[in-house]
Amino acid sequence: MRTYHTDDEAGTEAVGAEVALTAAAGTVIGLSGPLGAGKTVFVRGALRALGGNPMDVRSPTFTLMNLYAADLPVYHFDLYRLARGAELDGIGFHEFARGDGITIVEWADRFPDVTPEVTLWVRIGFDGSESGRSIRISDVPFPDTPGS
Ligand SMILES: Nc1ncnc2c1ncn2[C@@H]1O[C@H](COP(=O)(O)OP(=O)(O)OP(=O)(O)O)[C@@H](O)[C@H]1O
Ligand SMILES: [Mg+2]
């Protein structure tokens, strides 16, 4: 596990980019952390590093998944509004996650069925100050992750 500290949005984008550069086809990045922590900001930095346009990144609030064109297809899920884990199949989550794109999932720690699909865990937390964040990266689920 490693930990980064960022002082602003650009810093979190840079960590997203650095992490994304280690991603290969089939990587599933699971993001967690409270509302407004910076999960979507992280995705923006990741998409830039993956050869996509960071301006494309929007929270997929109503669609639950956004597809971005990049060197590999990038599937951006946000599970905040998903009511039940059983709906993951209906939105194609498992199919996308097992495909050859890069999958990035906000609120990856909401449903135990997501846990086995995730290959890299990222948790963003508030740091005390308004724009300070801690970002923890781990190959294994954080201990309180459901289904781990
Ligand atoms: N160090 C920082 N890293 C990331 N974002 C920051 C930082 N400091 C301030 N911010 C601000 O915090 C907000 C993060 O919003 P973002 O939408 O990325 O959060 P989120 O974790 O995706 O929230 P949600 O759970 O609602 O999807 C932005 O308004 C951003 O400008
Ligand atoms: Mg978000």
Candidate of 4, 15, 41 to mutate for ligand 1, largest count of ligand atoms within 8 Å of Cβ:
41
Q: What is the mean pLDDT of the chain?
A: 96
Domains recognised in the chain with CATH numbers: 2-138 (3.40.50.300)
Core vs surface per residue 69-93: b (16+ CB within 10 A) or e:
ebebbbbbbbbeebeebeebeebeb
Please tell me if the CB atom of residue 39 comes closer than 6 angstroms to any atom of ligand 1: yes
**Global confidence as pTM:** 0.97
> Is the pLDDT score of 63 beyond 80?
no
The pLDDT tens digits for 27-56 are 999 999 999 999 999 999 999 999 999 999
The ligand 1 atom nearest the CA atom of 133: 1
Residues 6+ apart with CB under 8 A from 92: 65
Residue nearest (by alpha carbon) to ligand 1 atom 14: 38
Q: Which ligand is nearest to the CA of 11?
A: 1
